[in-house]
Amino acid sequence: MTRGFLLKKIKDIKTFVAFDLETTGLTDTDKIIEFGAARVEENEIKETFQTLINPDTFIPLDILLLTGINEEEIKKAPHIDDVKEKILNFIGPHPLIAHNAPFDISFLKREVSDSLENPLFDTLKLSRILLPFIMNHKLGTLYTFFEKEESNLHRALDDAISTAKVFLGLLKLIDKLPLLTLEKILSIVEKTKNDSLILFKSAFNNALSGRGESDLAYLSHSFNIPSNVYESNAKNKVTSFPPTEESVEQILSKEVTINIAVTKYEKRAEQIALAKKIMKAFLSNEILISEAGTGTGKTFAYLIPSMLWSNFSRERIIISTYTKNLEEQLFHKDIINISKGLNIKFKAVLIKGRNNYICLKKWETIFSENFISLNKNEKESLLNLIIWEGLTKTGDISENSSFWLHNNLSLWSKLSCDAMDCEMNKCSYYQECYLTKVRKECQEADIVVINHSLLFSDLIREQKILGEYSKLIIDEAHNLERAATDFLGTTVTSYQIKNLLDRLYKTARGLLVKIRNVLTFLGKKNKSITMDEVAKSIDSVEESREIWDEISQSINEEVEKSEYIGKLRLKEEDSLIQEIESLRERFYSNLKNVNNFLKKFIKIFDDVEKTKIWKETVEEVKQVYRESEEIAENFYNILSCKDKNGCFWAESSDESKSTKLISAPIVVADILREKLFDNLETAILVSATILVENSFDYFKGKIGLSEIENVREFATGSYFDFKNQVLAILPSFISEPKKNEFFLDVVDVLRKVTLTIRRGTLILFTSYKLLNRVYEQLVETLHQNNILLLAQGRSGSKNVITKEFKEIKNSVLLGTYSFWEGFDVPGEALEVLVITKLPFSSPKEPIIEARTEHIESRGLNPFEKLHVPEAVIKLRQGFGRLIRTKEDRGIILILDTRLIKRNYGKRFLNSLPANIVISYSEGDFLERIRKFWKD
């Protein structure tokens, strides 16, 4: 089959025009500044067209820097009215191709011609359908995938040419799709009626003629399709003698062995010392807490002893991480590489919470029911799952780059594995079930990689997910209390409640209608349940819907008045709780009445001989009953606020007005000790930021290790030479944060620093309010001096502004708490770090307020026991953003003079890896900064 076979079959796109625009921004009021297009005939680019356009308006600096367009060129360029006719003539009647077509076509219709009716194909949408395993669906990534070379991006004509070539590559993929895959795609596309229908219909006709592939295997060779099981093929099966501290040291000292695992391995004394301590903990059944600073190589330090120990003892070792990035790196990179270096027989499994996996029964049901439960947007998103579902080895949705989970929570809830809906071994898909398979593999593994959320889900379910284990490694351990707080509590959302009530009954549909139909069919044979009972249950559901709306509205109104934006602490004595008490009781009573009815139905009909449809109805009743019971109890417990170790609060957003009710344990130490640590022989807890004033006591206290005897402590020290790599400086002439002058002082210092040294600068804030005020004061000055200013919440998503910050030299980035941790930019892109204020948590954050009250109730000072140590750890995390390698150099500016003017400041100073230089005048301050770079 020729490359152009599909194009020849589709007369309408025998010729097409790929185009791209550069604009002043993303809103309806922005303007086109460049148009580029490429006309393709018979698979070849025959003609191109490009023009700059003078928008007669301000062009943001980031646009100029990214595109390379300069203001002088724009001033000399024609206006849009002067080039409209040329653009339309070039486009002609031909189909249009664009990447993120809705964006580009909206500008063309607004500025060039609102009567454009050309067929429109979007390479972004098509690539998400066809390429679910590619890293991302940016134009440059797609161009490299098809053309095997880098593209020249950010200019309209270059992007138009790239779009044309990407479209040709996508057509080739469509042309080969197997019949069954095309049938599924067409069953959705025909309902959404988008222009891509013609492409898939033609391919379908080809497949009927036998021209397509028989299955999706041909696509699997184009991707790196991940597995969640890794088995080494080493012949050296089991170590017959126990590993020792010395054997671990020998391995880490043999650069030849480790170079198999990583290129350019560098022997590190800190890493070897940590690995030996971990090996000793395995040998002696100890709990080890270790702080291992950035650059230590902590993952190798615990993976090598773990793999050696597991290989010898045949014991499973569980490794838990907090972030997805580390979880993926451990399993897909580090474990595989080290296994090759050690040359031992080895098996590792990556397992996640059940909601991450697709349920095959739900998947087939969606199609067999002709998408009756999906809206238009959900049907379009479903397209991005079809090829992924046909190729995935794991069923784990996180590997599908085409499917944005946070934008598709409703759809994914209809497709994912769910404890409430799961029929376990009664399910007809049990043998193929991804969750079942990975849980079986988990029991046979040497190392199991999980995240903290699954660790606590397993605790709640008494090890029913992971099975029994006695060896546990917790990486990113500084987040253990936070994870326990999040996952040992309960949550009830508007979506959960509305979904449950709709599932029970909604306008002549739902489970209660099914039950009524069953009883009607049985007629006189049914003597146990009356139609009146069904009617009462329907009335209870209808009334519950109204009650929830009333409760939700009352809560949302109070959240809007809250001192802490978006959150409201709930207490038993609060007037709000008193006001909604009767509503709470009625809602709970209604749900319990419905549940009692469902329970009665199950009891009567569960053992009756049934047809398939009858059996499925009974199973659905069981599932809904379990879900309803859980929601009812969680709802009641949260809005009763009676648990003495519980913190309760409500959340709502201005946009959605949806309500979320949350409970969390105030103190997790006792829970962790009793449920987790008391059941382990060995536990390794590692992090780069645990110590407060060189002591582990605060960390041990909050996670329940203070009273356990076999706990050992070890700090590796810093791998970096902070004395020579960092200048940490505090300008003492700045006003304190509570004074009115503080804001102006901060702006003045930041303006002078950024203009003086012109290097990549990250400025960390503790609130959006201060960030936005600083941004507004700096943006014009920096723009005039050709320095790009990026701000969280204003310049795009975190990923977008991080990418721009890395790409555009000497940029300045303003960020809040999500940038204090996990922001990794080594090298010249980041050479200056500014900390505007000490990172104290808001005292009105519900869980912080509850913990403050708990400490006060014990006669202790919460500022000393909670607020300062938490801020110390956060400051140390922020400090760690600057130096990521031994080659990095940089300046850290701390603009909060409380560090030297308050007694508690000593606790911060004693915890930092670098000595702080105090500068007493602006002249001295700026001179020290200049001198650091000269030296």
**Which residue in this structure is represented by tokens 């770090």?**
833
State the Cα torsion 424-428-431-435 to the nearest 10°. -50
Backbone angles phi, psi at 777, to 5 degrees: -80, -30
d(CA 52, CA 512): 63
**Residue 232 carries which DSSP code?**
-
Kind and range of the H or E run holding 890: strand 890-894
Kind and range of the H or E run holding 244: none
One of 94, 99, 137, 154 is an active-site residue; which one? 154
Report H helices in 562-675. Answer: 575-579, 581-605, 612-640, 669-675
531-561 helix and 494-504 helix, angle to the nearest 10 degrees: 160
Contact 832, 759 (CB under 8 A): yes
**697-733 residues labelled b (16+ CB within 10 A) or e (exposed):** ebbbebbbbeeeeebebbbbebbbebeebbbbbbbee
Please, which residues have CB within 8 angstroms of residue 877's CB and are 6 or more apart in sequence? 478, 688, 689, 820, 821
Contact 548, 540 (CB under 8 A): no
Strand, coil or helix: what is 723?
helix
Contact 334, 341 (CB under 8 A): no
Q: Which of 913, 917, 814, 825 is nearest to 872 (CA)?
A: 913
| Beta partners for residue 833, in sequence order | 762, 892
Which amino acid, 623?
A: Q
d(CA 542, CA 529): 20
Which amino acid, 793?
A: G
**Which residue in this structure is represented by tokens 């069954």?**
180
**Which residue in this structure is represented by tokens 């773990």?**
306
Burial of 371 (0-12, 13-18, 19+ CB in 10 A): middle
Strand, coil or helix: what is 564?
coil
Report H helices in 808-865. Answer: 846-857, 862
Is 478 a known active-site residue? no
d(CA 144, CA 218): 19
Tokens read off for 222:
């184009």
d(CA 450, CA 804): 32
- Taking CB atoms within 8 Å and a gap of at least 24, the contacts of 618-623 are 619/423, 619/426, 620/511, 620/514, 621/511, 621/515, 623/420, 623/421
| Beta partners for residue 425, in sequence order | none
Instruction: Compute CA distances 579 → 413, 497, 893, whole Å.
Output: 33, 21, 50
**Which residue in this structure is represented by tokens 């002043």?**
24
Name the residues annotated as catalytic: 154
